[in-house]
Structures are given as C-alpha cells and as structure tokens.
Amino acid sequence: MKTVIVGGVAGGMSAATRLRRLDEKAEIVVLERSGHVSFANCGLPYYVGGVISQRTALLLQTPQSLKARFGIDVRVESEVTSIDRTAKTVSVRNLSTGVEYTESYDSLVLAPGAAPFVPPIPGVERALVLRNIADTDKMADAVDELLSRAERERIRAAVDEDVADTTPTAVIMGGGFIGVELAENLTDRGLKTTIVELADQIMAPLDVEMAALVEKNLVAHGVTVITGASVTSVEADTVTLSTGQSLAASLVIAAIGVRPETGLAAAAGLELGERGGILVDEHQRTSDPSIFAVGDAVVKRDALTGGQALVPLAGPANRHGRLVADVIAGRPVSAAPVLGTAVVGAFGQIAGATGWTEKRALAAGRKIRVIHTHPANHAGYYPGAEGMSLKLVVDAETDAILGAQGVGGAGVDKRIDVIATAMRGGITASELTDLELSYAPQFGSAKDPVNMLGYVAENLRDGLTETIQWHEVADEVAKGVQLIDVRTPSEYARGTVDGAVNIPVDDLRARLDEVADDVIVHCQVGLRGYLAARTLAQHGRHVRNLDGGYRTWARI
C-alpha cells in the first residue's frame, strides 16, 4: 500500500513516521512545497530574536535523515497542484527544475497547514510574515540589516553631533500569540516596537481583564500597544492607521492570524466545514474515503459542544497525524475533541488558556459562574514566590468547567495544564478541591491554586457565598447598593473601587449599624471579602463579594 502525504512539519511528518513504525512494508512519499520538511515552527520568533542562536537547531529532520532512519521518500520543493480522485493520483511540480509529474496513491494525507492572513492594503507587499524557514531567514536578515544601519547612523550622528534618534522601528499588525512573541523578541533586539490590534484588546483567547495584564506587561517593557485600530496603508518607512495616525515603521510584520490552506482540497471537490477548513470525521477522513487531512487546515471538534472549530496548534496537529497513520494501518482509533489549550510568554510573564472564555460562553447562551483568584505560585514564606491571576469559567447548572485562563509568573502553565486535564477527564469545578497535587514550599502550596479555585466553586455551588463581577459593580452602585471596602485604611487610601466606603473586616461586627441591607464588599483579591460576606450574611444582610477583589477590578 502506498501513502502520499502532502505537507510535512507537525501533522504530515507525525503521520509519516508513525505509519513507518506500524508498517515496515508501506510505501510512504512526503511532498513538501518548501525547502524544509521538518522544523520547529514555534521556535521561529526566538531565532529572529537571537534567543535561539543556531539556525540548525530549528531543523529537526532532513530528507536524508528521514530516508536513513525511516525509509521515507521525502521530496522538498515539490508542490502538489491538483488531485485526481478518480485515478487516485496527484500532480506534482518540482519547484527547482519546473518538471511536472503525477504520483499515484492508495491513501492520501493532506497536511497543507494554514497561511498568514495579509490584508489587501496599499503597500502591504513590504510586510513580512512568519510561517516557515524562508520567512524566518528573511525577517532575521531584515532585522540584522536595520540594526547594522542604525549603528552606522549612530556613529555618524556622534561624529556630526547630530542627536537624531537612529533606533529602528517595527510595527506588528496583530496582537495574538505570534504578535506578542515577536514584540518581545524585536524589543530585545533593540527595535522600538508597536503592536496594532483591530479588536478592543490583544490576545483574543483571553477575556478583556486578563488580556489587560498582558498589555500592561508589554507596555512596561517598552512595547507600544494600540487597540481598536488597523493599518490601512504601508509606506516606505511609515504606516498609516485607520485612526489617521502615522507610525514610523522600519519593519512591518503581518501577524493578524492564519487561514486554512484549502485550495487544493476545494479544487478536488472535498467538503469544507462552516469555518472554512477541510471537513473530516472522527478518523480524520475527508468526504473522499481514500483521502485524510490533518493539521491547521482541518476542522476540529469542539470539546464543549461537539461543534466545528479551527484550532491551529501544534499539539492537535501532531496527535491527528499520528492518528491518521493508525487508521491507515487498520487500528481502531478516533480523534478526541479539542480544548484549544495554549500558552505564550513575554518578558518573563506567562499567559495561558484552555477551553472557552467568558465572552464565548455568554455568546453561546450558557448560564455561567466566573471565578477570579490571585494566588502565589508557591508558598509565600518560601523565597521567590511569584503572583498569578487565574480565571475559571463554570457552567452554573452542571458545575462543568468551561474554560480557564492564567496570567503571571512561574507556574501559570502548570495550573492551566492541570485544569485542561481535569476538563478532559470530566472533573467538575467543585471537584478541583480533591485533586492531590504535589506540594513542597518551593513548588506549590498545601492548598494549591487549582484547589483554591475548587473551594470557591464549591462555595458558589452550595450557596455559601454570592459574588459579583468587576464589570457589574458600577451599575449596582448607581442603583444605590452600598459598596464597602473591607481592607485596612492604608490600603483603602492607596486606591479603591469607585464609590466604596471603608469598614475593615475586623471592625464589621462593631459597625453593623453602618451596613445597609443590600451590600457589596470587596478586599484586595477576594479572601477578606469572602470572610466579610459570611459575617454579614449571618447578620441578615444580602451581600455579594466582588470576585477577585480590587485587583481584578483595577486589572493590576
């Protein structure tokens, strides 16, 4: 049996190497359009930034190494131009020689990936993208040239006593994962970097109050962030925004997002999904039973609804490539739905997410509970503790975890991974209390941040407390509901939620006559507010605790 795989990297090469491990006799041909069949996509921004100094570190396998170890026929610079489903052949063009030929198959695996979206605006041809090794080389060379030129200009300016700023500038269109990673790496290389994002926030996988923490960290490290605007034209050394503003731009990068490369599949008459990706079943089989598809070009199944989702991440691509090989080899397997778990780091800060955001859950009409906490990554008494902000989105009717987000220092990724695992295992929000997680003071706390999310969820489920969200407080205060800051007077003096009066939690019992029948309480992160709420509730007040406290409200 002969399997032809169109596209390498994560999905394609996972399929090829797994199939060889399962079937020593299979004929396996990989056709890759670019010059590199196996490279570390996620490492590309870090080569541009100089964190990864050796280009060869990005190149995981070569056609020669794959032939030697796996007996796979890998052909780079080979573009598949069409599929003849009846004849079961593909037309191939060798991009080096121009020679065209046909290749037969018994099974065909499509792994074309996704292409960066480049907006059709004047001058956009000057914008660079970052998808493959060729893009990386072009961007790295451009950065090197800009820095060399700036150094020459600096020396000239010093001689001529010209004080003009020679620092090169970069404008990144898009504030997603790649945009944030490039902003860090270009800033570290010495470029003045600006992110321009059309939405009202960067980092779409996060809710706005969590994304604000990422933006604040970027700004603190010298990155300019402009939201609610887009680049409308690219000039020689500037860009113009939809607001009319002009920005200096020695380098322009399009990191707006990606779109599945489905031209080959569509031309062959394969069915596409409602999101534009290639539609596949639980075995990654397309509408043609001899053709499979994996990776960023493919529609996935959402873990929470079973609906269609586009999740351009390396993890699902690798898993589904392996799964296709199993199916071709006759093994009884099927694809699991996806949560979209992802993480990004910039300037020492980690931001991660899994599942749905609050805004997505509300858009889907789900009745939800939202929990914000601000724990340390390990025991506070042990040196080096770093803070984090966690958010849990919970189905109010079933207690199911719908999603989680985290922003902060060390340990954020660990907590998001634990919650993603809990979601995969069907563990409810309240059951997070019973997870037995490793503890020593330098690694965690006796009550891990994940356990603490469970405690809050349990209290909400059981009606022991009622919370209110940061964006709901102003409306309630406007209606005349009393707002009490239960922190110390010194904390209150440094800043409080608009409209709050100060009654410290330890003074509440002695000052009950100052407390209205309907009241909202808040502290710094929610714990003292919870204590105050329990006290006041047992004295006959209707009380709500500001979820996540002042820190969530202020986005700090």
Q: Which residues are catalytic?
A: 42
Dihedral pair phi/psi, residue 170, rounded to 5°: -130, 135
Structure tokens at 492: 């209150």
Nearest to 10 by CA among 31, 41, 33: 41
DSSP state of 222: T
Residue 120 burial (CB count, 10 A): 5
Torsion angle, alpha carbons of 519, 367, 447, 534, to 10: 20
Helix axes 9-22, 314-328, angle to 10 degrees: 30
**Cα 487 to Cα 492: distance, rounded to the nearest angstrom:** 6
Strand partners, 370: 393
Structure tokens at 496: 């409080």
The DSSP element (H or E) to which 527 belongs, if any, is helix 527-537
DSSP string, 302-326: BTTT--EE----HHHHHHHHHHHHH
DSSP state of 285: B
Q: Does residue 135 contact residue 129 with C-beta atoms inside 8 Å?
A: yes
Residues contacting 37, CB < 8 A, separation 6+ = 8, 9, 12, 13, 30, 61, 62, 63, 66, 74, 76
Residues contacting 6, CB < 8 A, separation 6+ = 12, 31, 80, 90, 108, 109, 110, 111, 112, 264
C-alpha dihedral sign at 153, 154, 160, 162: positive
